[in-house]
Amino acid sequence: EEVAKLLQLKAQLGGDDGKHTFVLKTAKGTRDYNPKQMAIREKVFNTIISCFKRHGAETIDTPVFELKETLTGKYGEDSKLIYDLKDQGGELLSLRYDLTVPFARYLAMNKITNIKRYHIAKVYRRDNPAMTRGRYREFYQCDFDIAGQYDPMIPDAECLKIVYEILSELDLGDFHIKVNDRRILDGMFAVCGVPDDKFRTICSTVDKLDKMPWEEVKNEMVKEKGLSEEAADQIGEYVSMQGGMDLAERLLQDPKLSQSKQACAGLTDMKQLFSYLQLFQVTDKLSAEKVRTTETQVLVASAQKNLLEERLKLTAELWNAGIKAEVLYKKNPKLLTQLQHCEETGIPLVAILGEQELKDGVVKLRNVATRDEVDVSRAELVEEIKKRTSES
């Protein structure tokens, strides 16, 4: 019945008769993932999740929508980007905007104070994203949080270790992880003479250094936000500094900054963090391979006619032995067709049956890439396939 429904729907959706003016598209800002994209996604997720598991993290899942009031007031100005569900009677609901608020709701509801959890799931924002730059209205977030009270900087160091491991294993090329401590920035503002009531707004201007050059940032501080040029220049000097342990030590000696208790606390913690990161040192490793959308190890094929039953039997034998196998759904497919299927989908091996092979109790095992063929006895076939596919 499902199949009938599907065929009917397909006919309806894809009708060539021109009668249907059906809009065939996904919602704005969303996309399908085809098998190739899914294979890549799976590989990336597996790398990430293996890392989280190696670090002893648990995972939870929460519904895709929450009570509207659970989300209300949590996102400030961005609240207008929340997707609300239509009021069809009952509760007022909204699609989740991130995974942090649902996590907080989960902790509070279950009175949980300590948990190391990851959550990889889609979130929803009614933004006008630049889809050409990979931004969408439905997109994945990958959250890792350590909730609880611990000695300073130890969980923070583990989080950074995890980021380092994942970025290394994903083999994305060189990367740079930036760390900060809000108390250091606040201390800088204080010693540079930023009035208390301007901390927030000057901070949001400094954040723009990612996107615009210093001159423009300074301009905004001075012209728009009324900061003195001198204060702006001092801030500019501080925020342009980059470094690790050495910088934290240098700033602790800085005659001006060291006058701020806040900044000193932040810098001391930062030193602690860098010392833990040294203890956590890691080595990189790499690997790369071609993208396949299935994991099939072998295609069961025949060169002669009337061997469908033998093909099906052998396929079942392989499945039962845990081998990933496929067979073409055709009574008498040509050998060429069968080999082409392997090349198109990247299946590395073909098990070929013929009258002679059946008589001899063997299977011709062909390496698709090298075209090498050897006779393998039925009894040893599973082992041989496992051996050959574990090598690659």
User: Hey, which residues between 227 and 286 contact its own copies (CB under 8 A)?
Assistant: 276, 279-281
Q: Pick the closer one to its own copies by CB: 55 or 198.
A: 55
Scanning 31-39, 171-179, 241-249, 263-271 for contacts with its own copies by CB under 8 A, the matching segment is: 31-39
Query: Are 124 and 95 a contacting pair, CB within 8 Å?
Result: yes
Structure tokens at 105: 């709701």
Q: How far apart are CA 363 and CA 383, in angstroms?
A: 13
Residues 82-141 that bind its own copies (CB under 8 A): 83-88, 90-91, 93, 95, 100-101, 103-111, 115, 117, 122, 124, 126, 138
For 126, other C-beta atoms within 10 Å of its C-beta total: 16
* Beta carbon nearer to its own copies, 262 or 315: 315
The CA distance from 349 to 358, in Å, is 19
Give how far the C-alpha of residue 129 lies from the chain's centroid of Cα atoms, to the nearest Å: 19
Binding residues among 329-388 for its own copies as defined by CB under 8 A: 329-331, 345, 347
Query: Residues 48, 125, 145, 190: which binds its own copies (CB under 8 A)?
Result: 145
User: Which residue, 275 or 356, has its beta carbon nearer to its own copies?
Assistant: 275
Residue 178 contacts residue 159 (beta carbons within 8 Å): no
Which residues between 294 and 333 bind its own copies (CB under 8 A)?
A: 294-296, 308-309, 312-313, 315-316, 319-320, 322-326, 329-331
Considering the complex, what minimum distance in angstroms separates the CB of residue 93 from its own copies?
5
| Between 130 and 255, CB nearer to its own copies | 130
Residue 225: CB atoms within 10 Å: 15
Pick 108 or 379: Cβ nearer its own copies: 108
Q: Which one-letter DSSP state was computed for residue 138?
A: E
Closer to its own copies at the Cβ: 114 or 367? 114
Name, in order, each residue with C-beta under 8 angstroms of 231's C-beta and a sequence gap of 6 or more: 192, 193, 194
Please pick, from the candidates 48, 97, 160, 161, the single residue that binds its own copies as defined by CB under 8 A: 161
End-to-end CA distance of the chain: 41
Rule CB under 8 A: say whether 6 interacts with its own copies: yes
The CB-based long-range contact list for 235-242 (8 Å cut-off, 24+ gap) reads 235/188, 235/189, 235/192, 235/194, 235/202, 235/206, 238/188, 238/192, 239/185, 239/188, 239/206, 239/209, 240/214
Q: Which of 154, 212, 241, 369 binds its own copies (CB under 8 A)?
A: 154
The residue within the footprint of its own copies, chosen from 48, 66, 217, 262 (CB under 8 A), is 66
Task: Decide: 323 and 298 in contact? Cβ < 8 Å.
Answer: yes
How many residues in the shown chain lie near its own copies by CB under 8 A?
A: 112
Query: At closest approach, how far in Å is the CB of 88 from its own copies?
Result: 6
Q: How far is the CB of 66 from its own copies (least distance, A)?
A: 6
Of the candidates 40, 45, 46, 67, which one interacts with its own copies according to CB under 8 A? Answer: 67
Q: Which of residues 186-225 bind its own copies (CB under 8 A)?
A: none
Q: Cα separations (Å) of 11 from 32, 164, 207, 246? A: 20, 49, 53, 68
Q: Verify binding: residue 179, its own copies, rule CB under 8 A.
A: no
Q: How far apart are CA 366 and CA 354, in angstroms?
A: 13
Compare residues 258 and 293 and give the one whose CB is closer to its own copies.
293
